[in-house]
Structure formats: C-alpha cells, structure tokens
Structure 1
Amino acid sequence: MSEAAAKGRGYGSELAPWAIVLVAGAGAVLFGGVWLGGTLGAALTGSGWHPPPFTLATFGTFLSDGPAHLWPGAPAAGVFFGVALVFGSAVAAAVLTARRVLRYVSRPRGLADNRELAALAPAGIAERARDLRPSLKGRAHLHPDETGNLLGDLAPNGPELRSSFEDVELDLMAPRAGKSTGIAVPRVLRAQGAVLLTSNKSDVYAVTRAAREKAGRVWTFDPQGIAHTPRTMWWDILSDCHTIEGARRLAGHFVASVNDDQSKKDFWISAAQNTLTSLFLAAARGGASVLDLLAWLADPADRTPIDLLRDVDMTAMAEQLQGTVRGAVETRDGIYETARQCVACLLDPEIVAWVTPDPALAQFKPHQHVLGRDTLYLLSKDGGGSAAGVIAGLADTTMRAGVVAAERMGGRLDPPMTAVLDEAANVCRISDLPDLYSHFGSRGINVVTLLQSYRQGSRVWGEAGMDALWSAATIKLLGAGLDDADFVEKISKLVGNQDVRTASVSRSKDGTSRSYSYRLDPVLPADRIRALPKGTALLLATGVRPALIRLRPWYKEPDAGVISAAAKAETAAITERATRSWTASAGPADGASRWERDAVSLRKP
C-alpha cells in the first residue's frame, strides 16, 4: 500500500467514529421530534397525553403503518401538525441561537463591555445625576432623561448608555450618517433645561418645535429664511459690547466667519478685528445702532466713533482707532475693506432687522433664557453672505450667560442647559470654543459639537485648536463614513490591539498534532472603522476602553408617531410659508410659475 493511501486510510479511520456518532445523534433527534410532536398533536386534538414507548420499534411502526397505530383515535392531521410544530420551534430556536452566537463571535474583541461601562449604564448614571443635580437628591425614582444624555445602546444588545450632565461631546460623522436623526433630534427632545440649537437646515427644527413648545417658549432666530418663519423676536447684538472683552469677542465671530483657520490670521484680518472691536465698543457705549456702525465703516474719515470713545473715557481705544484712520491711505483702506467684508451680512436689511431694537416684538434676553426650559433655534445658511457671524455671536452670548447663571447658582445649572452645535464649522464658528469646552461641562452646559470630519474642524480652528477640542471632549462619537485615512488610522491605534490565536495542524505517520501561535492585530482596523454601518458609532469615553454602540433615532422610539405627525404638519407649514415668500418676492405676475419651475428643477437628478 502506498504512503498516500495509508494516510488516507488513517484519516478515514479517525473520522469513522465521529460519523457513527453523528448519524446516531441525527436519528435520535429525528425520532425524538416525531415522538414528542405526535404525542403533543394528539393531546391538542383531544386524544389525551398518551406517549408511545420511546423505542426503535415505535419509530419503525410510525414509518410503516403511520400514526394511527401509535396514537389511536387521534386524527393524522393533528399528529403531523404537532410534529411540524415541534420541528418548527426547534428550527426557530436554533436560528435565534445561531444569530446570537454569530453576533457575539463577530463582535470585535478588545472593546469595552457592560462591566467597564457601568458608569454610563442606567444605575451608574442615575447615581451620578444625584451628585450633579441637587434637585434630584432624595428622589427614589428618576426618569431616564433626568439622569443623563442618551448616547445609544451598547452593541449588540444593550444596555442603554448615557453621558452625565458634566460631559461635553464631540461627534464626527459623514452626511446622512445619523447626526440629525440619532443625535441632534433626540438630544433636543429629551433636554431637561434650556436648549440652544444651531443648524443650516430646517429638519431638526421641524421635528422638535412642537414638542419643545410644550416645554417652554420657542425662539426662532431665522434671519435668512431657512424655515421661513416670520420675525417675532429681536436680539440686541451690541448688548455685550459695553466691555472691551465683549466687543472683541463679537468682532472675532465675524472675523471667524470669513477666516478658515483661526491659527493663521494675517495682518489684515487681525487689524480688521481690532477696528471692529473699537467700533462695536463705540456703538454700545455711545448708544448708536448697527446701522450707524455700518456708516462708520463706509466712511473711515468719520470721527464719530472716536469722539464717542473719548466721551466715555475709553481714551486708549480712541487713540488706537484714530491711529488706524490717520495711517497710510492704502493701509487704512485695506483694513476697513477687510472689516467691511467681515460684517457684509449686516448690509442685508432682512438680517440686520433681527438685531435691531423693535418695540413691537419680544426681545430675546440670554440671561433669562438659560434659567428656564425655553428653546432657541439659530438657523443660517453657510457659504458666502451667510449670517454665521451673527449666529456665532448669539450662541456664544447665550452659553456665556449660562456660565454666569451657573456661578450664581453655586457652580452648576440645574436643570442643565443643552447646546447642540450642528454644522458648527459652517454656521457657528466660535473661535475659542476649544478653550471653553471643558469649562462649559463643569457649569452644567452640555455642549454637543457635530462635524462631518476631523479635517473640517481643523480648517476652522487649526490643527492645534482641533486637537484641543478633541482632548477637551469627554465623550466622542465616531460614526459612519469617516474617509480621512490618517485620522481613521489614529483611531485604530487608540482602540488598541488584541492577541489573536492562530492554530496550525500538522499530520505525520505518527498521527496529527496541533500547535498555536499568537500575534497582535488591531481590534478595529482602519477599514472597519471607515465602514461602520449607518446607525452605529464608536464611543470614546474618558477612562474606559472604546465601545461600539447603536444610535437611537427618534423615529424608532415609542412616541415616534406623535412626533412624526407634528413634523409633517410643521414641514407642510414651512413649505406653505416658503411658497408665499417666493411668490411675494417674485411678484404677482409670475411668482407661482417661478416657484413651480424651481420645484421641478430641484427634483431633477
């Protein structure tokens, strides 16, 4: 006999005992199912529970003579129904078990489990909430939304995870990856205190407005007609400009709206910010309006702002502004032209009306807003001509008002304030947001910044600023569609490596031997992070290993029906307002036809 034949024969002899066991086991399962199913079917049809002997002879009788000899008086259909029921139940149980096993096996090893995430689980987060919120002490039962901000469910099957009211969050996800439905909307709907939301779309506004109206007053700041809401409020843009710090901050927001990298300010940008600071301060201290300020910018030779600064004993600022005005004409004109470009949005009368006092409308007062449960929607377009500088100024003023209120309350807002900065890189460029981030968390202001990528944030705050924002965020969610290879590779390294055991089998004439070796592989390779499914996110929380979670979109929650109906009604109202607005702006002759033509063009692929 050849050596190959001997090996084949030896291998076959090793498998023979297992084949016998497999056949015997399959026969026992088959017979057992028939025996149990037939008895169950007979009992269900009224013949009583009379199981036949559990022997091979019984099985043979069933195959040769049918069920009538084993279960006398029972209809054959009932017996076969019972058999089908037993086998169907067994198959269903096997499928469910297999799915659980596959889900468990496919889950990446090396990620945080229930034990490590106990502080974010219901019991742990409730205990933390009682420490952070004095109003909850002594209460035995708390609503989940009173304990923390919903993040999602730990994959694959729970528990629910929440961040505490001192956490600040940074979320990076590609467009259509669930930022609005899985993060922004649930965060606004579940907020316990005052809410601030920035966005360049009306989707979150449409879904949440009706629900937030039940909690408190809704303030909609919509200077560019994103939701086509009528102007029912105004904000005094100069209210915080009575100090140099306040004036400089407002000037910085306008500068940031046209400067892509705060770490790279050239001479003209820096000089324009200094000039705007002086003009904002002069307008606020001198009782002038925004329109007066625009007139000063249009005519650098106008000495009114210099005189106003001198009148209020701001001599140094007056001298600085005068030095700019008296400088070389080319330099002066360059500085003023840059400043004019920074506040160009205020040339639009539709925008400037929202920041000009109007006795007929309600004035939005940030220091009152942060103490209640009202909601402030800040809507603006992005790109050229946007009101991003105004939006950033109002958002910054409101959050800093929350800091002042927290200091007066003993250090922390209770209930906490929620600030969702959606499209922060486009419509809410607060230049020193990375420096303020952790401070907001310590004051009970839960800030959530939503970006499409790490690189998008770097373009706004610079590499150093984005690194500071990343470090300050105590909760980070990384969702689907992150295509920055360098960033994703860094995340893979942060997640870490794991030991992978590899088995090798060797066969010889003496038999079969098995050995094992170990190697280090990434827990989540870069390609797997990039390919995270929609609706899932990688959770990076301070002090624990990364975890994979499933987001909780608002439309999958128990009250989704009521919210969806309200959202449809609000969307229809927005569409109607948009139609009226467009018709009015186009004129009565061709307004409707122009609207129809634009609607058709928007539907084209």
Structure 2
Amino acid sequence: MFTVVRAGGTLGSGLTGNGWDGPPFALSTVQRLVSEGPTGLWPGAPAAALYGGMLGLLVLVAVPLALVARMLLGRAGRTKGLAGRRELAAMCPKGIEARARDLRPSLQGRDRLHPDETGNLLGDLSPNGPELRSSYEDVELDLMAPRAGKSTGIAVPRVLRAQGAVLLTSNKSDVYAVTRAERERAGTVWTFDPQGIAHTPRAMWWNLLGECHTIEGARRMAGHFVASVNDDTAKKDFWISAAQNTLTALFLAAARSGTPLHQLLGWLADPADRTPVDLLRDAGLVAMAEQLQGTVRGAVETRDGIYETARQTVSCLLDPEILAWVSPDPALPEFRPDLHVLGEDTLYLLSKDGGGSAAGVIAGLADATMRAGVVAAERMGGRLDPPLTAVLDEAANVCRISDLPDLYSHFGSRGINVVTLLQSYRQGARVWGEVGMDALWSAATIKLLGAGLDDADFVQKISTLVGQHDVRTPTISRGREGTSRSYSYRQEAVLPPDRIRALPKGTALLLATGVKPALIRLRPWYKEPGAAAISAAAKAETAAITERAARRLLPGTEAAGVPGLPGPRGVPGVPLSKPVP
C-alpha cells in the first residue's frame, strides 16, 4: 500500500509541474506522511492532485487484481467436469445474438438488440454468470418437482419476455395472475377458462368443429379426447381405438354438415341413429360412412361398448358451461388460431385435471394453435418471425397431445418455441409411454433438471450422462533415502446421484445438445427489474379472481373482505364463514 501511495503522490506532483522526485523509500517517510500529510512529502503540490494520483493508481492496480480474483474464485466454485463460459459461448450474449440475426430476418440491419429479442432466457451460469439463453430454434423439456421454481423461474419469465404470440396451458391461475396485465400491453389477451380456474367470464368462443373438416383434423381432435382419459396414449386397447374411429367419423359428419355439437352428443346417445352415416355419404365420404355403418350394425354388445367408451371421452361436453366455450356465439368474438400466431396476442388455456376436466378441449385448442403456427411459418418461408412461444405447463395433466414427441423437433425448425413442464420423467412416461417419453427427451434440444427429482433410476442415468472426471490422489512415501511423493488418478462422477437429487431450489442442471452439462441459477420474475409493478398488478388480479370466485360460488352474499357483493334486493348480505384471503 505504501508503494502505491508513494508512486501515486509522485505521479500527482509530476502532472501538476512540481517535479517527479519522490520521497525516499524509508520508514521515516511513512512517519512524515502520517504526521504532515501528503503536502509535507511533496511541497508545493496541490493536495487534490496528490490524492487524485494516489486514487488513480490504486484503481489501476486494484481492478486487475479484482478481476483475477473473481476469475479464480469462479473456477474454484464451479464443479469440475461441467461446462464453463468457453464451452457455452454459443449461449452467451454475443453468441446468441449472432444466432438470432441468422434466424430472424427482421433483426437484420439493427445495431443494437434487446436481450429478449435474441433468445429465451434460461438463467445465469453458476456461480458467477454470464446469463445463458436458448435460440429460437430450440425446444425445451423441463423436469422439476412441485414448488421447485417451474412457475416463478420458467413459465412466468418466458411469458413476460415473449416477442411474439403466446400460448400457455395450466391447471392453476398463478401464472395467469402474474402475467395478464403485462401481456395486455403487447396485444389482446384471450382467456379460455371453461372450468373457472381464474373465474373469468366467457368473453370468447372457439369453433371446435372448425378443426374437423378433414379426416386428419377430425382424427386428431378425437385423439385429444381419447388421450384425456387414457393414461398411456402409447397403448390403445380395442375399445379406445374403436372409440377414436367412431368419434372421428362423428366429428367429420358434424363439421361437414354444419351440425352443432349438442346434436353430435345426441348421436352418441343413440347408436342406432343413421343421421351421421347419411351426412357422410352426402359429403362424398363413402368409406368413412361405411366404416361407421359397420360399427352401428355390429353386435349390440360391441357397438354399445364402443359408443359408451366414446361417450366417456367427451363427457366434459355434457357440461353446458364447457360446451358454450366451443360452440358459435354471435355475441362474442371468435378465437382464430390462424390469426393468433401472426400477432403478439396471448392465449391462456386453463383447465382442471382429474375427472370431468376439459383436458381434451385444452389439448385440441393448443394443438390447433401450434399447427396454425406451422402453416404460417411455411407461408413465411419456413420460420415464424417473431416466434410463437408455447408454454405447456402441467402438460401431462391438461394438455395430452398424443404425438407431441414426434412434433417436437418439427416445431423448433418452424420458429415455435415449445417448453414442456413436467414434475418427473415418470409422469411423462405415464402419458406417452416409455418409447414416447424417450422420443420427447431425445427431441428436446434444451433440458433443465431442477430440484426434487426422486426417481433413483432416472437420477442415476443423468449422473452417467454428465460423466466422470479424473481425481488426482497424492501418495507420500518415507524411507531411509528421504521422502518421495507420487500421484495416482481415479475416475469419479462429476455429479453423483445424491447431489443431483439435492439440487437447491432455484438451480437446474442444463443439458444442451452438443454441449457439456452445466449448472445454472434460474432467475425468478420477482427478482428482476420492474418486479414491483408486476407484483402490484398480480395482487390486483388475484383480488379480482377472489372476488369473481365469491360471486360464482356464493351468489347473493356479502363476502367478508370482498367489496361489491350485495345480497338480493331487500335482503342484507350474509357473511361467509371465514374471510376470503
């Protein structure tokens, strides 16, 4: 420190024209500096110049030392064998910006780009950054236990930062409440909430039969309803397959003839009704009509079994509230997937899981939107610009698209950024089967594995994928001739299974195609700039949801803590048993 002070004072004295002669490098100089101050060592020189020289030289010395110390600490804190900044250069800011300019023609010619225009934020490289982003041709699969950061660290940031149209599926209202106000600034917000997850009033409708004018479209729609009740879409017994064939024919007959959905449900209730067979013939679909007629004329026990299975798959449409969301309503705007993917609007698809859920409808609308994105991309020359962001939260519960594993890589090449959020690998295998889940895992170019993965076999496989590294072990030998030291090497897992299972909340293991695994820190939305305004909007939206829930569940009552809920005319409001939070 004395050397820096002496050299800095001499520098300040010389620059102000008071000579470059410094005091002697001795203990007496230190004593004079303490007793007389810098002006006693450099007479005639301004004190400000002396202090400025000392400070400037201190900065010149301290900054490089701090950078070196940070680099050394970063290396010490990083797990050996995992990817670092150099291996992940293509996902760092400069690399991802260059990739975005190649993928998005609309960015050409612009000098500066906002980081969110260059790729999807994944998180910060552990322990000291930089931030990492996936490109707009990557598709993502995230596996994390409940309350491990899927919503706060992935779903919400992905929706808030999206550049184009957004599609979100969920069985909760948390992501909707946080992001709705911000997405309203970008474009129209469409909320498809047939079961009252967010208790939003119906302000739209979607023509379910509009997707069924072709055999392929009708078969896909039937498949979504079948998948909603079939625990393993990779395994279809006779009844499931026959029910899907029957539903395909009925959807096609109704779509081609303009028959409303409630009449289609009537056909299902009466297997002997020949109306759909005649309608298929009138539409020129003779083969489909013959197949349906064969089912109708078959053995009564078989026919009734097929129709009963089909009725179970579409049982959610028996609820008039759900049926209204997918039936034409001239008083409300129609949601058009083909128009949605071309703008910056947001579509929230909310449904409960379990019995009576609208999962088949949710999967059908999500699939229709993403396929509309594929068509739009083909018209644009192969890729959507800006890209479509599809966040399939709770995909295994409310959005069972049976051939999603096959579509995954295709979506990435079309500018449709899909991220599927699951609680575990086994949950996905239960829906798509082991083969289907393996295909989904292989097709995902980005995989994030977060906290709480308790499947021992799966965690062991991940540890094997991460690999091993060499550990040097010293051996000291002592003898008559002195002491000698030798080294041996052994292989050790980079991340043992127990460490993968014990990943802290807010961190994730990143597996990217062609890159060594890396540990990253997720960036929750509430720790980002502007979080205060988003949080305030989220609280307001949550309060509105609570109020709407009270109106729906307790009409004509006065909810304690919820203003604006008067009782019937002439009858005072009746308080709830406990306040609404």
- Unpaired stretches in structure 2, ≥5 consecutive residues: 10-21, 39-63, 559-566
Q: Is the 8 A contact 1:201 1:379 kept in 2?
A: yes
Match of 2:224 in 1: 253
Q: Distance in 2 between matches of 1:123 and 1:105?
A: 25
Match of 2:564 in 1: none
Q: Distance in 2 between matches of 1:448 and 1:304?
A: 42
Q: Is the 8 A contact 1:582 1:595 kept in 2?
A: no
Evaluate the alpha carbon distance shift between residue 72 and residue 240 of structure 1 in structure 2; reply closer, same or farther with a 3 A threshold. closer
1:546 to 501, 506, 517: 517
Residue pairs, 1:415-434, within 5 angstroms: 415-434=386-405
1:437 to 397, 408, 415: 408
Q: Is the 8 A contact 1:498 1:521 kept in 2?
A: yes
1:315 Cα deviation from its structure 2 partner = 1.2
Q: Distance in 2 between matches of 1:274 and 1:203?
A: 37
1:574 Cα deviation from its structure 2 partner = 0.8
Q: Secondary structure at the match of 2:212?
A: coil
Say whether residues 1:140 and 2:111 are aligned partners: yes
Match of 1:596 in 2: 577
The amino acid of 1:498's aligned partner reads: H
Match of 1:301 in 2: 272
Say whether residues 1:513 and 2:494 are aligned partners: no
1:292 Cα deviation from its structure 2 partner = 0.6
Match of 1:64 in 2: none
Q: Distance in 1 between matches of 2:421 and 2:328?
A: 32
Q: Distance in 2 between matches of 1:463 and 1:275?
A: 27
Match of 2:318 in 1: 347
Evaluate the alpha carbon distance shift between residue 69 and residue 309 of structure 1 in structure 2; reply closer, same or farther with a 3 A threshold. closer
1:155 to 126, 135, 139: 126
Q: Secondary structure at the match of 1:426?
A: helix
Deviations 1:512-547 (A, max 9, x none): 322111001111111111111111111111111111
The amino acid of 2:476's aligned partner reads: V
1:69 Cα deviation from its structure 2 partner = 13
Residue pairs, 1:445-460, within 5 angstroms: 445-460=416-431
Q: Which moved more, 1:397-406 or 1:575-584?
A: 575-584
Q: Distance in 1 between matches of 2:274 and 2:233?
A: 31
- Unpaired stretches in structure 1, ≥5 consecutive residues: 1-28, 40-49, 60-66, 75-92, 601-605
Q: Distance in 2 between matches of 1:287 and 1:594?
A: 48
Evaluate the alpha carbon distance shift between residue 69 and residue 358 of structure 1 in structure 2; reply closer, same or farther with a 3 A threshold. closer
Say whether residues 1:71 and 2:35 are aligned partners: yes
Say whether residues 1:112 and 2:83 are aligned partners: yes
Q: Secondary structure at the match of 1:576?
A: helix
Q: Is the 8 A contact 1:193 1:373 kept in 2?
A: yes
The amino acid of 1:115's aligned partner reads: R
Q: Distance in 2 between matches of 1:173 and 1:593?
A: 43
Q: Distance in 2 between matches of 1:69 and 1:187?
A: 59
Q: Secondary structure at the match of 2:354?
A: coil
1:100 Cα deviation from its structure 2 partner = 7.6
Q: Which moved more, 1:354-363 or 1:501-510?
A: 501-510
Match of 1:221 in 2: 192
Residue pairs, 1:400-415, within 5 angstroms: 400-415=371-386
1:334 to 305, 330, 342: 305
Evaluate the alpha carbon distance shift between residue 96 and residue 595 of structure 1 in structure 2; reply closer, same or farther with a 3 A threshold. farther
1:121 Cα deviation from its structure 2 partner = 0.9
Residue pairs, 1:190-589, within 5 angstroms: 190-584=161-555
Q: Is the 8 A contact 2:557 2:574 kept in 1?
A: no
The amino acid of 1:491's aligned partner reads: I
Q: Which moved more, 1:120-129 or 1:577-586?
A: 577-586
1:107 Cα deviation from its structure 2 partner = 2.0
1:70 Cα deviation from its structure 2 partner = 6.8
1:505 Cα deviation from its structure 2 partner = 2.2
Deviations 1:229-251 (A, max 9, x none): 11000000000101110000000
The alignment yields a C-alpha RMSD, in angstroms, of 3.2
Deviations 1:294-330 (A, max 9, x none): 1111111111111111111111111111111111111
Q: Is the 8 A contact 1:276 1:339 kept in 2?
A: yes
Evaluate the alpha carbon distance shift between residue 408 and residue 94 of structure 1 in structure 2; reply closer, same or farther with a 3 A threshold. closer
Evaluate the alpha carbon distance shift between residue 222 and residue 595 of structure 1 in structure 2; reply closer, same or farther with a 3 A threshold. farther
Structure index of larger Rg: 1
Q: Secondary structure at the match of 1:112?
A: coil
Length-normalised TM-score, structure 1: 0.83
Q: Secondary structure at the match of 2:532?
A: helix
1:118 Cα deviation from its structure 2 partner = 1.0
Q: Is the 8 A contact 1:418 1:445 kept in 2?
A: yes
Q: Secondary structure at the match of 1:139?
A: coil
Deviations 1:342-379 (A, max 9, x none): 01111111111100110000000000000000000000
Evaluate the alpha carbon distance shift between residue 531 and residue 97 of structure 1 in structure 2; reply closer, same or farther with a 3 A threshold. farther
Evaluate the alpha carbon distance shift between residue 598 and residue 348 of structure 1 in structure 2; reply closer, same or farther with a 3 A threshold. farther
Deviations 1:184-210 (A, max 9, x none): 111111111110000001111011101
Q: Which moved more, 1:391-400 or 1:108-117?
A: 108-117
Q: Is the 8 A contact 1:170 1:473 kept in 2?
A: yes
Deviations 1:206-228 (A, max 9, x none): 11101100000000000000011
Q: Distance in 2 between matches of 1:543 and 1:53?
A: 58
1:137 Cα deviation from its structure 2 partner = 1.0
Length-normalised TM-score, structure 2: 0.87
Q: Which has the higher helix share?
A: 1
Q: Distance in 2 between matches of 1:396 and 1:69?
A: 78
Q: Is the 8 A contact 2:153 2:522 kept in 1?
A: yes
Q: Secondary structure at the match of 2:86?
A: coil
Match of 2:19 in 1: none
Q: Distance in 2 between matches of 1:306 and 1:136?
A: 53
Say whether residues 1:182 and 2:153 are aligned partners: yes
Runs of 4+ that moved beyond 4 A: 50-55, 67-70, 93-103, 585-595, 597-600
Q: Distance in 2 between matches of 1:249 and 1:562?
A: 42
Identity of aligned residues (%): 77
Q: Is the 8 A contact 1:584 1:591 kept in 2?
A: no
